[in-house]
Chains A and B, each alone.
Chain A
Amino acid sequence: MKRPALASILFGLIPFAATCFSVKLWDRIYPMVFGIPFNFFWLVLWMVLTPACMWGAYCVETRRAMQERQGCGPNAVIRGEAEGGAD
């Protein structure tokens, strides 16, 4: 059974931590940023930062798919391990 790679899931957890679990920390009006209340600004900011995180996850998944296509000989496995560690 195929599953998403652990490294790519870690990228996905960042937006959850930033905009969901931490609500107590950022739900405030001040400091206003560009004249926008902080909570509002924070969530809009993460609309842009979330795709950035998912770009990381996308790279992980794409690289994995390419390795699978090349076959899973011993070399491919070693390469997978080495690059997985770099993440």
Chain B
Amino acid sequence: MSASVVALTIISIIVVSGSLLGFSARFRRKMDLEQWACAGRGFGLLLVWLLMAGEMFTAFTFLGASGWAYSRGAPVLYIIGYWPLGCVVGFYILPYIWEAGRKHRMQTQADFFQVRYGSKLLAAFVALVGVVSLMAYLQLQLTGLGLIVEEASYGSVRRTTAMIVAFALVAAFVSVSGVRGVAWVSIVKDLLLLSIAVFIGFAVPHIYFGGIGGMFAALARTNPAHLVMPGTTPNLGHMWYLSTVLVTAFGFFMWPQFFAATFTARSGQILRRNAMLMPLYALAMPLMLIVGLTAVMVLPGLRNGDLSVLLIVRKTFPAWFMGIVGGAGALTAMVAAAIQLLCGATLWAKNLIRPLFAPQMTEQQTATLSKLLVLALTAGAVLLAIYTSVSLVSLFLLGVSGVAQLCPGIFLGLFSKRATTAGVSAGLFTGIAIAAVLTLTNRDPYHGLNAGFIGLCFNIAVTGLVSAFTSVHVSSFDEIAAEIAPAPSAPAGSIADLS
């Protein structure tokens, strides 16, 4: 058997058995929208963890981060900088988002804006921002998947074919099993990915340089500029790091799929514990960066840095191992894409199409529409991935600049009495416009600052200014009647205000 057949067989086995696990998670549950998108709000610590982590370890972790370590050097440190900080932000907001979500039966991020600010249009705009940003992230997964299968098959399967086959599988899997299926496949995927990251993170530098220390010593001798910011780039310096870490840390839980994962939890306390422990999970990330840095000296001159991990694995290990790495990578991209699809489709059906075009639609019809939209979104992302080529990190930064603009609306919605519907809408619109213009005209970074960060600053200023001159819809969630009988809650106020 040739190397490519061995590798491809192993990839197929991993991908197919992963998908079967997802299908079987359906059991005999009735799949209404609530069950499909929020799993009936009954997930405990472990499943919420897996669902969120499933969305953290994506093709971006696997290829994009090491790709930047290879091609840009030290600016990639922003990734291990923002991750723990994103969890810190999540610690403070998730339990409150969860509480509002349970009280008002929210299923999507746009529902939050709908309930808090009482505007269908604002909610639809939020859904649009969410779906467009998700498309960038989805495209990232697809591109990554294509790279993995193409390289792991030693070029015998074309990238386009690989993307189409795998995503047909993801779309089918999401339509049938919903969020519960995804969480279970996450277990397999995370175990595989973590063990591979730990193994190659130590083995690759050991084989070429006798260890991680040896690798860094060699790199510091031959290429010291690679190891401090701005690395090999002209403009990704300290201010860029600072602004990017802030915008990505605050944008971390603004991704609509993290929002949706929040609603699957059984209690707010579970979310706090999750956010507290999650930075530990990221410890696999530096190992992937180390592999990328090793490739700088072992495989100099690659045109596409995103290939560095795959190529160094292919050069160093036998074909069957390449198959395992490829399978794990493919499954990772698929799980992440599944969550993104699930969330994007629900947003689109529930917050864009139903309220604006078909208000008489029932819950059941909305659920069916969501499943159809999964196919539409998949097709859209496949086309984007085939016809455009951007580096994986750039796609990620593009998406996160978009969702980070939702921050003021969410923070103020939870913790301020003065935010108005007009203020939040105007701020969001300004922020998106500025970030989009700067990014699309290739001005990111602008004067050394992340474009999303500049957008966010204007966003906050406009939100504050307009809010000062307009009247509030309601001053907090407490004023809005719950959609179901509210669970007995502790009397609010007194003690919270003291401490």
Contacts and interface: CB of A to CB of B under 8 A. Distances in A.
Contact of B499 (A7, A23, A48): A7
Interface centre among B224, B227, B249, B498 (most CB of A within 10 A): B498
Contacts of A80: 495, 498-499
B74 A51 contact: no
A1 B490 contact: no
Interface string A21-62: 101100111001011110110011011101101110110111
B415 A72 contact: no
Given A47-B283, A58-B91, 16 more contacts: A2-B493, A5-B496, A8-B92, A20-B81, A20-B242, A29-B220, A35-B213, A35-B217, A46-B84, A51-B280, A53-B88, A58-B273, A62-B269, A77-B498, A81-B498, A84-B498
B84 to A, nearest CB: 4
Contacts of B216: 32, 35-37, 40
Contacts of B85: 15-16, 19-20, 50
30 contacts: A1-B417, A7-B499, A19-B81, A27-B229, A27-B238, A27-B241, A28-B228, A32-B213, A32-B220, A35-B211, A36-B213, A37-B216, A37-B228, A39-B74, A39-B228, A40-B216, A40-B227, A51-B277, A51-B280, A53-B88, A54-B275, A57-B276, A58-B91, A58-B276, A62-B269, A64-B499, A65-B490, A68-B491, A76-B495, A84-B498
Interface in B75-106: 77, 80-81, 83-85, 87-89, 91-92, 96, 99
Interface residues of B, number: 58
B377 interface: no
A23 B238 contact: yes
Contacts of B494: 72, 77
B214 interface: yes
B495 A12 contact: no
A20 to B, nearest CB: 5
A5 B39 CA distance: 31
B422 to A, nearest CB: 21
Contacts of B217: 32, 35
B476 interface: yes
A82 B95 CA distance: 25
Interface in B190-238: 211-214, 216-217, 220, 224, 227-229, 238
B245 A19 contact: yes
A62 B282 CA distance: 25
Contacts of B333: none
B478 interface: yes
Given A44-B286, A47-B279, A36 B212 contact: yes
Contacts, number: 157
Nearest to B96: A2
A61 B272 contact: yes
Which among B83, B85, B241 has the highest number of chain A CB atoms within 10 Å? B85
Contacts of B279: 47-48, 50-51
A33 to B, nearest CB: 10
Which residue of A1, A29, A34 has the most chain B CB atoms within 10 A of its CB atom?
A: A1
Interface in B471-494: 476-478, 490-494
Interface in B345-360: none
B291 interface: no
A64 to B, nearest CB: 6
B174 interface: no
A50 B229 CA distance: 23
Contacts of B289: 40
A23 B88 contact: no
Nearest to A19: B81
B277 A57 contact: no
Nearest to B245: A20
B276 A55 contact: yes
B246 interface: yes
Nearest to A81: B498
Nearest to B478: A1
Interface in B227-284: 227-229, 238, 241-242, 245-246, 249, 269, 272-273, 275-277, 279-280, 282-283
A29 B224 contact: yes
Contacts of B283: 44, 47-48
B213, B220, B272 — most chain A CB neighbours (10 Å): B272
Contacts of B77: 27, 39-40, 43
Residue from A43, A55, A65 with most neighbouring chain B CB atoms (10 Å): A43
Contacts of A77: 494-495, 498
A64 B495 contact: yes
Contacts of B415: 1, 3
A43 to B, nearest CB: 5
A31 to B, nearest CB: 12
Nearest to B79: A43
